Amino acid sequence: MIVVLHPNASEEKVKELHTWLESYNVKIAPINGVHKSVFGLIGDTSKIDINAIRAYDIVDTVTRVQEPYKNANRKMHPEDTVIDVNGIKIGGGNFAVIAGPCSVESEHQIIEVAQRVKAAGANFLRGGAFKPRTSPYTFQGLRAEGIELLLEAKKVTGLPIVTEIMSLSHLDLFADVDVIQVGARNMQNFELLKELGHCKKPILLKRGLANTIEELLMSAEYITAGGNTNIILCERGIRTFEPTTRNTLDISAVPILKKLSHFPVIVDPSHASGITWLVEPLSKSAIAAGCDGLIIEVHDNPKAALSDGAQSLNPDEFDGVMSSLKKYIQAENKVM
């Protein structure tokens, strides 16, 4: 950590800051410049709140030079983390496709979709039981019953299931779920993240609409802090001024997350764009950028979908997308 002081800081105030910093067990190496004085802090600075240093009025700027995350950091864990769900793997050269409807709506619907996406080559089934909806007046999900139906579809097809948790208080209902998804709106629901750190299940952690790459990794760090390192990171678009797409897919986040962290990285082209016909080009693009998997919305009848119809493929369209992706997965030397 580098601390730059105001040019005219009094000796007394500098001493006060010095003493306080030393209480964190870091060594302080000064540089004396012409206009400014600068401290370098040497040692483990992860416990120091950067804003606490800024509270000293003699401080001009503070810059972190080490990443604030440890367990999530590839420097501490150079090999790829591979998530293994009943033998189906994500990461380390293994490519996964998670597909299914935005919301679970009925037994018929979820089984029909599960069979179709499996036939097309998907290896996980997604489906929302608890649904975060902007309006309290629209469909809120089948909740506990939705999870039952997903487990039914798993029994029929063998596909492991991925579904979103919206509240700690529902955790017991997720006992048989294979991968627990934390949605974009809950990426910084820290109480939820802490609790998920104590379970052993893989967590699919989506980036928030306005969260930086570093904040996503800090949220992963929260989960690891409890002991759970089964984490899949997901880029799903960020909010910008561009109105054509629902969000702006930050494709650069894929290679950056792969470099900074050892966790597998997947992309959600459905939520990133909100537009059906963009799912194919964005999926190809994400594979070429180095992602380890995709999560795609597929509905047996998008027009009748109770949520997110505009961005859901129908099963025939999904067949087309899957067959067009194959050569890109191969080009990246990944297996599925």
Question: Under rule CB under 8 A, which residues in 278-307 are in contact with a copy of itself?
Answer: 278, 281-282, 284-290, 302-307
Please, are residues 260 and 233 in contact by the beta-carbon 8 Å criterion? no
Q: Which of residues 14-33 bind a copy of itself (CB under 8 A)?
A: 16, 20, 29-33
Q: Which of residues 143-182 bind a copy of itself (CB under 8 A)?
A: 166-170
If the CB atoms of residues 12 and 242 are measured against a copy of itself, the closer one turns out to be: 242
Amino acid at 125: L
**DSSP code per residue over 305-319:** -SS-GGGPBPHHHHH
Non-local (6+) Cβ contacts of 269 within 8 A are 249, 278, 279, 282, 283, 286, 294, 296
If the CB atoms of residues 118 and 131 are measured against a copy of itself, the closer one turns out to be: 131
If the CB atoms of residues 35 and 200 are measured against a copy of itself, the closer one turns out to be: 35
CA distance 184 to 206: 5
Please, are residues 312 and 117 in contact by the beta-carbon 8 Å criterion? no
Query: Binding residue for a copy of itself (CB under 8 A) from 82, 148, 188, 201?
Result: 188
CB of 263 to a copy of itself, least distance (A): 16
Under the binding rule (CB under 8 A), the answer on residue 38 touching a copy of itself is: yes
Query: Binding residue for a copy of itself (CB under 8 A) from 43, 93, 158, 227?
Result: 43
Q: Which of residues 69-128 bind a copy of itself (CB under 8 A)?
A: none
CB of 85 to a copy of itself, least distance (A): 25
CB of 3 to a copy of itself, least distance (A): 10
Q: Which of residues 238-277 bind a copy of itself (CB under 8 A)?
A: 238-245, 248-256, 259, 272-274, 276-277
CB of 77 to a copy of itself, least distance (A): 16
CA dihedral of residues 173, 187, 208, 221 (deg, nearest 10): -130
CA distance 266 to 235: 6
Query: Binding residue for a copy of itself (CB under 8 A) from 81, 123, 189, 228?
Result: 189
If the CB atoms of residues 151 and 310 are measured against a copy of itself, the closer one turns out to be: 310
CB of 269 to a copy of itself, least distance (A): 9
- 202 - beta bridge partners? none
With CB under 8 A as the rule, give the number of residues binding a copy of itself: 113
CB of 272 to a copy of itself, least distance (A): 7
CA distance 267 to 251: 9
Non-local (6+) Cβ contacts of 306 within 8 A are 102, 103, 105, 138, 139
Query: Binding residue for a copy of itself (CB under 8 A) from 210, 227, 320, 323?
Result: 210
CA distance 169 to 150: 20
CA distance 213 to 211: 7
If the CB atoms of residues 96 and 213 are measured against a copy of itself, the closer one turns out to be: 213
CB of 86 to a copy of itself, least distance (A): 29
Give the residue from 144, 124, 139, 263 showing the smallest Cα distance to 205: 263
Give the residue from 115, 85, 62, 131 showing the smallest Cα distance to 305: 131
Under the binding rule (CB under 8 A), the answer on residue 68 touching a copy of itself is: yes
